[in-house]
Structure 1
Amino acid sequence: MTTPGHPSPAQVPPSRDRVYRSPMGITGGVLLLGIVLWLGIDALVQGDGRTPWLALASLILVVPGVAAFTLRPAVFADEDRLRIRNPFRVVALPWGQVASLRSGYSNEVLAKSGAKYQLWAIPVSLRARKKAARRSARAEAERSGRGGRGAGLGLGFGGLGGGGEIDGPARAETDKVMDDLRELLVTREKEESAQGDVAVRWAYEVIGPVVAGAVLLIILLVVG
């Protein structure tokens, strides 16, 4: 029985995935694919002898490989699980199976079984971390400087030049994403709906064309 004005469980919409991808990876992948396709199609149309066949084998090998490492990676998170789509695997981890989320030179999720999975879609940028640290230090220095002058002169300089204020320490974007995922882990890991087994699926739709292209290219090179 439901109370008036409150939806029944069947009426409550399922939670939507939070999707995390690398904008730089996607941009680089699109540009690289454009160059590869331009050169490959030109060789197919204009090439002589074995050139079109070599171009075809190269396209079959390179295009899925480039797409796998640039366009494909993504991380999906909802209230029940974390799903990681890496170049050649898809891993689904209920929050109850996640031991920790770690950030070092790469962002990783550690399962309670001891297995470790890298988050390709959330790459670490040491440059972005250094930039965020400098911005945070500069804002702190500005706050300290304004506070000192205001206290010495008895003037309210705190309301001037507010553009340098930062709400909390500055963080690189990927570190903020990892913070969001850790918060979701803490709030959901003990929920009944967030329990289950880890599922790993190999992306044969990517592996198949890459292997086929590699085999065809090797045969063409060996036959001469």
Structure 2
Amino acid sequence: MTKDRVYRSSAGVATGAALLGLAAWLGVDAIVAGEGRTPWLALATLILVVPLIIAFTLRPAVYAGPDRLRVRNPFRLIVLPWGQVATLRSGYSNEAIAVSGKKFQLWSIPVSLRARKRAARGKSGRFGGAGASAADAPLRARGDRDVDELREVWEARQQEESAQGEVSVRWAWEILGPAAAGAVVLGILLAVG
């Protein structure tokens, strides 16, 4: 059995870790040292903010396996068997398009127009020998290379019997539930005054 290849944004993970550290530092300080309603407001804010930070920074990932593409976006989990993928495209965002025509963004594979421009100016052959065809190939931005890899897997696996099935989309209640609870508690605390 082949392990799924995982695509994540390293900048997103680093940002998420930094934001969680900042939220923990400020939130725990307000809970411990705060007076009156402050500890309760800080706790409700943490219950709201922490799931959202996780949703937009740490959670997004794309898993490419032999039979399917699993896309974990901030609030949804999409499972696309390779046979149900019509195409993978990279424009201003990276998307998987199902045979049904539905588009699913690949949040964890960011598009960087700056990286594309930089890659278009350079060549990977700077350090390669003359006449090497791979060395003369233009550089590709990381997100574009990731989508190219996904396209290769899709093209190789889309006709396999094990790669057929239905597309499934599931809401991420493990993120939405706590965030909604935090929003309700924070709203009540602010309304009560």
Partner of 2:53: 66
Match of 2:67 in 1: 80
Q: Does 1:207 align with 2:176?
A: yes
Measure, in 2, the Cα distance between the counterparts of 1:39 and 1:112: 47
Q: Does 1:57 align with 2:48?
A: no
Deviations 1:1-37 (A, max 9, x none): xxxxxxxxxxxxx111011111000001101111111
Which residue is equivalent to 1:9? Answer: none
User: Are 1:170 and 2:139 an aligned pair?
Assistant: yes
Quote the Cα distance in structure 2 between the aligned partners of 1:181 and 1:129. 18
Q: What is the Cα deviation at residue 166 of structure 1?
A: 3.2
TM alignment of 1:1-224, pairs within 5 A: 14-136=1-123, 158=130, 166-224=135-193
Q: Any gaps of 5 or more consecutive residues in structure 1?
A: 1-13, 144-156
Aligned pair count reads: 192
Q: What does residue 150 of structure 1 align with?
A: none
Query: What is the TM-score with the length of structure 1 in the denominator?
Result: 0.81
Partner SS for 1:124: coil
Deviations 1:32-79 (A, max 9, x none): 111111001000000011100100000000011001110011000111
Counterpart-to-counterpart distance in 2, 1:179 and 1:126: 16
**Equivalent-residue separation in structure 2 for 1:200 and 1:125 (angstroms):** 27
Deviation at 1:119, TM superposition (A): 0.4
Instruction: Output the TM-score relative to the length of structure 2.
Output: 0.94
Q: Shift in Å at residue 115 of structure 1?
A: 1.1
Which AA in structure 2 matches 1:184? V
Structure 2 distance, partners of 1:134, 1:95, is 34
* 1:137 CA displacement: 9.5
| Greater shift in the superposed pair: 51-60 or 167-176 | 167-176
User: 1:146 matched to which residue of 2?
Assistant: none
Instruction: Summarize deviations over 1:159-201 as a string: whole Å, max 9, x none.
Output: 9xx9xx9351110111101001111111111111100001111
Percent identity, please. Answer: 62
Which residue identity is paired with 1:67? I
Runs of 4+ in 1 over 6 A off after TM superposition: none
> Distance between the aligned counterparts of 1:105 and 1:35, measured in 2?
31
